Chains A and B, each alone.
Chain A
């Protein structure tokens, strides 16, 4: 069996239409991964690229340990089930199932055994002599599955296999495919536009939209922690209710949600994940509540009530859907800012036209930015805290950090600091208490109280709730802001430099030779052979393309001009030093190259006015700038 790895996979048609955009996914051996999304989101295209039926424009596909970008479909050891079954109409069911084995020259007796075994598993033994046209949809789908399982492939690819079946059969085949996955112990990649199939079948779900991956995670993760409004609305039936609202942080730490027709109050302990910048009572925010989290109220629920007029009641047997509107005059059931759906499994006597109270599960509220539609309640959020800077020392998170080289540059005063989870780790620094632990995949998400502030970090270390701990803070990853104006921004992890690729004649030891260069900001960097080969792998057009070279901070080296070994004419990049940022444990030079500022780590006390910049090209990533596509 096999792992499947997709790294920066792109599919671009005619050099401009991007069907799949920077798709990254590691599929574990025996995992059941579902690609889900609306029509045209690129899910089938991605699957077909894994199958080898579509060429991969850029990126790396591995099946097992082998790079499979240019491997023929038949040599990938995969099997595929198509939406329209794709059975061979001129062959019997037996021949359809046996076709792949015959192609692989399996002995006849073994073919016979395997076909009968597969037919037995799928319950189609009695139809082996029939032609596909004499079978029903469900039977045809089983034959297609039989054709796939008989070859015992490493990876099963299923492209909307149930969408041509009726609802009842679809539900049955769903469980059959899940059972088949458990029995075969193979890697399954399943494409569907049906979120119920995705939620019920997948170990992990990849939600796609417009060629972009929106979110990857387990069904529960996606359901409980959607990263944007699209994922929140796409998963879950009935769909999540959305309202426009504002959020205001009260003096007691609670947050008041004001929407059209109702007001909710979120207690302080539920607000730590909320983006603090929108809690001013003025920002328009989208509130999302799943129908299961709005239930008919019995008694009172202060701060968690919605009063609304019932427009329609749908009895679904075990579940009742109540469509309501906080605006009694609105007749809309959907697409109204005041309408919502409530779902309850308890018996209810509510009738259409009644005015009823509903209880909202405050801990399950979702908030999204109105413009970007991204969540304002991240699972591992960047937190904002107050920081007092004075005399080379900063007081924050219930402790202090001394760094004269940095804080003496900032005027004394109070600032807001933005602390991303990446800036935090377990280690010496700020003392605190672990308030909450959640498992996310193989890692744990911790909420730690540091003084009066709460920070979130992710770690594979295991700690318990209530445990006292120490948290180390990487100051170079922290941003300092004065009323929203950046005073000191975090140092980025990588920079992009625009340039081109060229083969140029240079003089070496009196001889003229041809060398390959990256032409960046008026300078040129000679490229190592391995990197040059990767550039050549992109085809002849690479010489004409506008490129972006993405270099990690650790792969940029600056050398004093006096220490730089002599280079050929015009070789190397020379940048002017603008500033020095001394974080104590690390020092950065702030440089400028043709107007583009960037930082580079610096060792030593003397700071030259100019430095020679070089890259470690082993780790440089190259992008096609015109369509923003990673080439390698």
Chain B
């Protein structure tokens, strides 16, 4: 009987398998490099300081005898040290207020730049875009001096006002508005809607995905903003999660308590990310293409 030579289809032949394996190894490696530090932080925050000092590097929650055990005392201490109730409230006020004001004002500005006719529109837009080139850190001192002049330092207002306008958001939203069919707006205009109503009722709903993405990113940025609140607010009652965590790390607490604080601070955003990841990924892609 003649021996038949069998072959796999091209898509699963040896070369392809090797290529795919290589790609997956790289991807898994990258994933681990991101996950391991966080996982280590989580595990270490569930161990006692003694257990942490008595063993080397481990990704298992081991006690000083090398047995598996979970210790939640660090969290209790971190809660108190962070002044979590007040700090969380401050953070939420700043992030929520900033996100809504930011989206509202920036979308208005973006719509104006996209659709309204006014003197030197393009020149003004170019000047605004130019300000994107200035590093944020450079603006710390002028911003502080302005806030001081306005008498709003040492207040939550100082954490909101300087960040309600975002050139990046204006730019992205303007691009989105430019993509909206002008005919729809003209139809609304003929039907009797004014520019604000067209913006609010017709155009804004059409750019909802981008608004969601910018809302999330703005919220996240404010949530993690550390340097500005640290400079502008001295009063401990006006601290946000980020500054409070910095305070915790610099106050001589055990490393395990510091890591528990870090987990507490980062957990809400990680949860938000998992819930809204569809918008974040989609929106980032869209922004990349449109921009």
Residues on A close to B: CB < 8 A? 51-53, 73-74, 78-80, 82-84, 86-90, 99-100, 103-104, 147, 151
165-189 of chain B: CB within 8 A of chain A: 181, 183-184, 186-189
Cβ contact of B187, chosen from A86, A90, A151, cutoff 8 A: A86
| Bound CA span A86–B189, Å | 11
Q: Chain A: which residue is nearest B187 at the CB level? A: A86
Cβ contact of B186, chosen from A86, A89, A147, cutoff 8 A: A86
Q: B179: shortest Cβ distance to chain A, in Å?
A: 13
Cβ contact of A99, chosen from B181, B183, B188, B206, cutoff 8 A: B188
Which residues on the B side are within 8 Å of A74 (C-beta)? 189-193
Contact A80-B188, Cβ < 8 Å, known A86-B181, A86-B183, A103-B197: no
24 residue pairs of the A-B complex, CB under 8 angstroms, read: A53-B190, A73-B186, A74-B190, A74-B191, A74-B193, A79-B191, A82-B183, A82-B186, A84-B181, A84-B183, A86-B181, A86-B183, A86-B184, A88-B187, A88-B188, A89-B206, A90-B206, A99-B188, A100-B190, A100-B192, A103-B191, A103-B192, A103-B193, A104-B192
B191 touching A147 by the CB < 8 A rule? yes
B56 within 8 A of A: no
B205 within 8 A of A: yes
B186 touching A100 by the CB < 8 A rule? no
Which residues on the B side are within 8 Å of A99 (C-beta)? 188, 191, 193
| Bound CA span A80–B192, Å | 12
| Bound CA span A151–B191, Å | 9
Q: Chain B: which residue is nearest A153 at the CB level? A: B190
Q: A94: shortest Cβ distance to chain B, in Å?
A: 14
B128 within 8 A of A: no
Query: Can you add 9 more A-B contacts, CB < 8 Å, to A53-B190, A90-B205, A103-B197?
Result: A51-B186, A73-B186, A74-B189, A80-B187, A80-B190, A82-B186, A82-B187, A86-B181, A89-B206
B60 within 8 A of A: no
185-230 of chain B: CB within 8 A of chain A: 186-193, 197, 202, 205-206
Q: A153: shortest Cβ distance to chain B, in Å?
A: 9
Which residues on the B side are within 8 Å of A80 (C-beta)? 186-187, 190
| Bound CA span A86–B205, Å | 15
- Minimum-distance CB pairs A-B, first 3: A103-B192, A100-B191, A86-B183
| Bound CA span A617–B248, Å | 87
A73 touching B190 by the CB < 8 A rule? yes
Which residues on the A side are within 8 Å of B197 (C-beta)? 103
Q: Chain A: which residue is nearest B194 at the CB level? A: A74
A53 touching B191 by the CB < 8 A rule? no
Q: B225: shortest Cβ distance to chain A, in Å?
A: 33
Which residues on the B side are within 8 Å of A147 (C-beta)? 187, 191
| Bound CA span A52–B191, Å | 12
Q: B283: shortest Cβ distance to chain A, in Å?
A: 18
B192 touching A53 by the CB < 8 A rule? no
Cβ contact of A53, chosen from B181, B189, B202, cutoff 8 A: B189
Which has the most chain B C-beta neighbours within 10 Å: A53, A87, A151?
A: A53
Contact A53-B206, Cβ < 8 Å, known A74-B191, A84-B181, A86-B181: no
| Bound CA span A475–B187, Å | 56
Which has the most chain B C-beta neighbours within 10 Å: A53, A74, A78, A88?
A: A88
Q: A43: shortest Cβ distance to chain B, in Å?
A: 16
Q: A264: shortest Cβ distance to chain B, in Å?
A: 51
A88 touching B202 by the CB < 8 A rule? yes
| Bound CA span A90–B206, Å | 7
A88 touching B192 by the CB < 8 A rule? no
| Bound CA span A51–B189, Å | 10
Q: Chain A: which residue is nearest B202 at the CB level? A: A88
A88 touching B193 by the CB < 8 A rule? no
Which residues on the B side are within 8 Å of A84 (C-beta)? 181, 183
A53 touching B186 by the CB < 8 A rule? yes
Q: A140: shortest Cβ distance to chain B, in Å?
A: 12
Q: A210: shortest Cβ distance to chain B, in Å?
A: 25
Which has the most chain B C-beta neighbours within 10 Å: A74, A84, A151?
A: A74
| Bound CA span A89–B180, Å | 11
Q: A270: shortest Cβ distance to chain B, in Å?
A: 50
| Bound CA span A89–B56, Å | 60
| Bound CA span A87–B184, Å | 6
Which has the most chain A C-beta neighbours within 10 Å: B181, B187, B190?
A: B190
Q: B142: shortest Cβ distance to chain A, in Å?
A: 40
45-65 of chain B: CB within 8 A of chain A: none
| Bound CA span A74–B186, Å | 10
| Bound CA span A84–B183, Å | 8
Q: B198: shortest Cβ distance to chain A, in Å?
A: 10
Q: Chain A: which residue is nearest B186 at the CB level? A: A53
Which residues on the A side are within 8 Å of B188 (C-beta)? 88, 99
| Bound CA span A87–B192, Å | 15
Which residues on the B side are within 8 Å of A103 (C-beta)? 191-193, 197
| Bound CA span A329–B268, Å | 85
| Bound CA span A84–B190, Å | 15
Q: B177: shortest Cβ distance to chain A, in Å?
A: 15
A78 touching B205 by the CB < 8 A rule? no
For B233-253 the 0/1 string (1 means CB < 8 A from A) is 000000000000000000000
Q: A66: shortest Cβ distance to chain B, in Å?
A: 17
| Bound CA span A82–B189, Å | 13
Q: Chain B: which residue is nearest A73 at the CB level? A: B190
Which residues on the A side are within 8 Å of B206 (C-beta)? 89-90
Which residues on the B side are within 8 Å of A79 (C-beta)? 190-191
B190 touching A78 by the CB < 8 A rule? yes
136-185 of chain B: CB within 8 A of chain A: 181, 183-184
Which residues on the A side are within 8 Å of B193 (C-beta)? 74, 99, 103
Which residues on the B side are within 8 Å of A86 (C-beta)? 181, 183-184, 186-187
Q: A73: shortest Cβ distance to chain B, in Å?
A: 5
| Bound CA span A83–B190, Å | 15
Q: Chain A: which residue is nearest B185 at the CB level? A: A86
Which residues on the B side are within 8 Å of A82 (C-beta)? 183, 186-187
For B63-84 the 0/1 string (1 means CB < 8 A from A) is 0000000000000000000000
Which residues on the B side are within 8 Å of A51 (C-beta)? 186, 190
A88 touching B184 by the CB < 8 A rule? yes
| Bound CA span A100–B189, Å | 9
| Bound CA span A151–B197, Å | 19
Q: A289: shortest Cβ distance to chain B, in Å?
A: 42
Q: B273: shortest Cβ distance to chain A, in Å?
A: 27
